[in-house]
């Protein structure tokens, strides 16, 4: 089975996901940092706290007292670390001249700069590139590894960059909208794929995925 085939199966079964949830590029970037190893429902609470305080902007986030920022982020977990990361990101964002400047950079340059920010790793950077800047980037997450391992298409322990280039090579001819939907579909589907491998030989592997995905 090839990479576009899996996409077609997922898309036929679930339909478009309409990612990223939320409003505008900056909110996408904030969400990308806050959702690190965290359920999205908790992230929404934190973002709502920022909105209620009228502080969902890089200016407000860099200006507010650290302790208060951390309180707003509390429901998303890791709130001390995330307050630090979000502040580091917003400082960088303002230094770089904001969205209008950043959007002029090439994808490799922009990616490298994102990765230089403390708290922005490869997956968060790629979330931002794809969902805030609309770049043709494939996001690798734990669900991606799990699903494609179950399908027997990857080993699962490949490097992030190795997987990314493999996926992007398999999607050379598709539009950015497919990248957008593909990752969203993977996350959606991944939530009901079992985690433990040996016990799932019959329930989560090929057969069930194929049956489930083909409707």
Partner DNA sequence: ACCCAGGGTCATA
Partner DNA sequence: TATGACCATGGG
CB of 69 to DNA, least distance (A): 12
**Residue (80 or 214) nearer to DNA, CB:** 80
E strand segments, 2-152: none
Side-chain half-sphere exposure of 14, counting CA atoms within 13 A: 24
**Residue (20 or 148) nearer to DNA, CB:** 20
CB of 211 to DNA, least distance (A): 22
Whole-angstrom Cα distance, residue 46 to residue 35?
A: 10
CA-CA-CA-CA torsion sign (23, 29, 32, 34): negative
CB of 214 to DNA, least distance (A): 23
Packing angle between helix 160-170 and helix 3-14, nearest 10 degrees? 80
CB of 49 to DNA, least distance (A): 10
Task: Give every CB contact of residue 55 below 8 A, 6+ residues apart in sequence.
Answer: 61, 64, 72
Please give the residue ranges that form the binding site for DNA (CB under 7 A). Answer: 19-21, 31-32, 35-42, 45, 74-82, 118-125, 127, 131, 141-143, 187, 190-191, 195-196
**Residue (6 or 123) nearer to DNA, CB:** 123
Structure tokens at 92: 């960088």
**Residue (42 or 55) nearer to DNA, CB:** 42
CB of 100 to DNA, least distance (A): 23
**Residue (89 or 100) nearer to DNA, CB:** 89
Whether the Cβ atoms of residue 34 and residue 209 lie closer than 8 Å to each other: no
């Amino acid at each position: 089975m090839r990479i576009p085939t899996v996409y077609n199966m997922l898309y036929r079964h679930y339909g478009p996901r309409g990612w990223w949830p939320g409003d505008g590029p900056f909110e996408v970037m904030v969400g990308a940092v806050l959702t690190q190893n965290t359920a999205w429902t908790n992230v929404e609470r934190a973002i709502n706290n920022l909105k209620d305080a009228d502080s969902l902007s890089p200016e407000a986030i860099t200006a507010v007292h650290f302790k208060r920022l951390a309180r707003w982020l509390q429901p998303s977990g890791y709130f001390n670390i995330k307050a630090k990361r979000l502040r580091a990101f917003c400082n960088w964002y303002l230094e770089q001249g904001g969205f209008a400047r950043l959007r002029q950079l090439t994808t490799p340059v922009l990616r490298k700069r994102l990765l230089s920010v403390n708290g922005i790793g490869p997956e968060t950077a790629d979330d931002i590139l794809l969902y805030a800047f609309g770049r043709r980037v494939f996001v690798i997450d734990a669900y991606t590894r799990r699903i494609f391992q179950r399908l027997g298409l990857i080993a699962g322990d490949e490097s992030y960059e190795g997987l990314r280039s493999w996926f992007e090579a398999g999607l050379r001819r598709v539009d950015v909208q497919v990248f957008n939907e593909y990752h969203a579909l993977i996350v959606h589907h991944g939530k009901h794929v079992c985690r433990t491998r040996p016990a799932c030989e019959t329930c989560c592997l090929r057969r069930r995925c194929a049956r489930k995905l083909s409707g």
